[in-house]
Structure 1
């Protein structure tokens, strides 16, 4: 597995990629050209029927292109065996696509087995992949897909797609069939995985907010996959290319900017904590030492469990088990500020715990921190708009001056 900032992805180049079906007058995908850097996450977004999934599936040749080229790390893959190609490219789809008659371990192990890996290597890899996507190998190894929740199935689907350590991961609306809360958590998980693995990811969605949250760059596609704009989320939000792109951005561009900043990028505060097994005296002392009148009680795995206030101690005679208010929500370090803001707004005290990879306590993000970040984003947008207007005015003035000079020149002649 890669460590640090090592990029394990591959470059992808689509060169005039086209797909025609039968005798249709119009191609489904018409001459798409695009360059994707190694380790980059690129999102394809567009209206239904624009050909974004067709475009994605041509990369691993689940759909054969009619014409054009696909180059991965400079190699034209349109001429090699498609089955071998697919073993080199991870593929995750909506509803996970797991084989129902195989266990979780067997699903994840399938491609490594096809590639001839040894039994011990495959076994280690399965455990590694389950751990990577946040599923306990001891608990999930022998389960069948029907015994998993929708979110767990999607995690296994991603683990299977990454099992053979492919440089490229294709994802076709992988989180579209789960509930909104699970979807947010899966998005955060993908962000965390990409932060660790640095694969090249091409991701199809119809949800522009999801595109903003996940993408390094977004390709907004018109009919036949014509590219309306291919740029960073920031550039598309602040300077959409035309009315078609503006329609995708929609209202509230400044609030959508909250999807571009992660909780790990803002100040996370610390609060007094105690373990649920700590003696009552220890908990009382930590409450007294803290700057606020509350403390976060952690469970045996170090995860946020209950908020405990000074007044709760009087109700707990001997045991703290019944005291305090259960923690109802938390966000990961890879969650967006929009996720955090929603969580904070639903909390009566205006704060939410931040957790690590295994749900362990990291800190707390509060309303003050989030509002300061929102104001900074709005101010940055305001300054960018002023600078853009200034540049336009300079261009117009320069153009007017050139016209005047040209007019004087003609008069002189």
Structure 2
């Protein structure tokens, strides 16, 4: 997808809201537009699907110039997800997801199958959520349905305008992980607007840091922006702790996820006790009937457990998915007394654990890499200074 000299000038205002934006978004990548409030990032996004008509410039998707296409037809070819989901309250979950497929003439059976496929894809059980209304869903569930609706007609391009901005931080982390997982499966071309630089680092393949009127201050990979911000404006977005922000660039799936002794809550008590007594660990992880992490049970809890498992053990407070970042995992471990965090699948089922030692080893590697890079940069600066001094001296002698 290409934006060519894209400009928006509102009547009565001599200064463009968006001024001459040129950007190429490669097929299958996530590009994040990040910048201060009022810089024009949402206006730029909405010009792509012509919710806001450009004053001038061109928009190309694939080999097609869509600038002069019927805007209604264009929007049916582009997925669109916004903050607070934008679901129609009088329609069920299934009706919301089926909206665009019906508009473009899909058959009833194809649409019905697609609705079930989309619900499963975003981790919602079709049997449970098919007939619910938006008011019967949590904020996170509404956002998942919003993403499912945006993807329902299988558009090549997905636009997302601060889609996770209206939910709590924990739900937001999980929704970000869900988007990353979906992108691994679907390989869509995604343009995503946010004001949160940490979110940009976590999700984006490339980040466009925008000044006023959507002027591009830097357009590069998260790694490049973190290690080599182009100027003070970009440095201000990166903020302090760039090395720790790089924890958002490594996923849990990239480090050592290991198995851990488990038992199901509905296993016979005696078998749970035997496993706990005989294991090499002094604790095990109790799973609920759906194999979701439920409680950490330690040997010291055995006396209480003999009376009732409900009274024994420590409830699992946090879990992470394989697509969570090391930063997410580290925060979860630090707030959980177990010193480790459970890793879960699409529907919350147990996969394994990541412990503090593994995370700290990775943090040390990142910090060491940053240290070596800083030393190399200092060495290059000294060499440049030495060459400059030599040239100046030669010039004086001449």
TM-score range, shorter chain: over 0.9
Match in the other structure for 2:65: 76
Q: 1:46, CA displacement in angstroms?
A: 0.5
Please tell me whether the aligned partners of residues 124 and 347 of structure 2 are also in contact (alpha carbons under 8 angstroms).
no
Asked whether 1:215 is paired with 2:204, we answer: yes
Q: 1:215, CA displacement in angstroms?
A: 0.6
Tell me the alpha carbon deviations over residues 255-294 of structure 1, each in whole angstroms, 9 at most, x when there is no partner: 1111111111111222111122222332233223422100
Asked whether 1:98 is paired with 2:87, we answer: yes
- State how far apart, in whole Å, the 1-side matches of 2:383 and 2:4 are: 37
Match in the other structure for 1:392: 381
Match in the other structure for 1:138: 127
Please tell me whether the aligned partners of residues 34 and 196 of structure 2 are also in contact (alpha carbons under 8 angstroms).
yes
Tell me the alpha carbon deviations over residues 228-256 of structure 1, each in whole angstroms, 9 at most, x when there is no partner: 00011111111111010011111111111
Match in the other structure for 1:373: 362
Report the more deviating stretch, 349-358 or 203-212.
349-358
Match in the other structure for 2:224: 235
Asked whether 1:312 is paired with 2:306, we answer: no
TM-score (norm. length: structure 2): 0.96
Q: Residue 112 of structure 2: SS of its match in structure 1?
A: helix
- State how far apart, in whole Å, the 1-side matches of 2:176 and 2:166 are: 13
Structure 1 residues 319 and 49: CA distance shift in structure 2, 3 A: closer
Aligned to 1:280, which of 269, 273, 276? 269
The RMSD of aligned alpha carbons is 1.5
- State how far apart, in whole Å, the 2-side matches of 1:275 and 1:149 are: 27
Q: Residue 277 of structure 2: SS of its match in structure 1?
A: helix
- State how far apart, in whole Å, the 2-side matches of 1:393 and 1:15 are: 41
Match in the other structure for 2:106: 117
Q: 1:346, CA displacement in angstroms?
A: 1.0
TM-score (norm. length: structure 1): 0.93
Q: Residue 78 of structure 1: SS of its match in structure 2?
A: coil
Q: Residue 79 of structure 1: SS of its match in structure 2?
A: coil
Tell me the alpha carbon deviations over residues 191-226 of structure 1, each in whole angstroms, 9 at most, x when there is no partner: 111111110110001111111111111100000100
Q: Residue 286 of structure 2: SS of its match in structure 1?
A: strand
Aligned to 1:328, which of 317, 323, 347? 317
Asked whether 1:21 is paired with 2:2, we answer: no
For residues 138-217 of structure 1, the aligned pairs below 5 Å read: 138-217=127-206
Match in the other structure for 1:6: none
Gaps of 5+ in 1: 1-11
Match in the other structure for 1:269: 258
Match in the other structure for 2:75: 86
Q: Residue 67 of structure 2: SS of its match in structure 1?
A: helix
- State how far apart, in whole Å, the 2-side matches of 1:316 and 1:143 are: 38
Report the more deviating stretch, 389-398 or 223-232.
389-398
Asked whether 1:255 is paired with 2:244, we answer: yes
Gaps of 5+ in 2: none
Please tell me whether the aligned partners of residues 271 and 290 of structure 1 are also in contact (alpha carbons under 8 angstroms).
no
Q: 1:19, CA displacement in angstroms?
A: 0.7
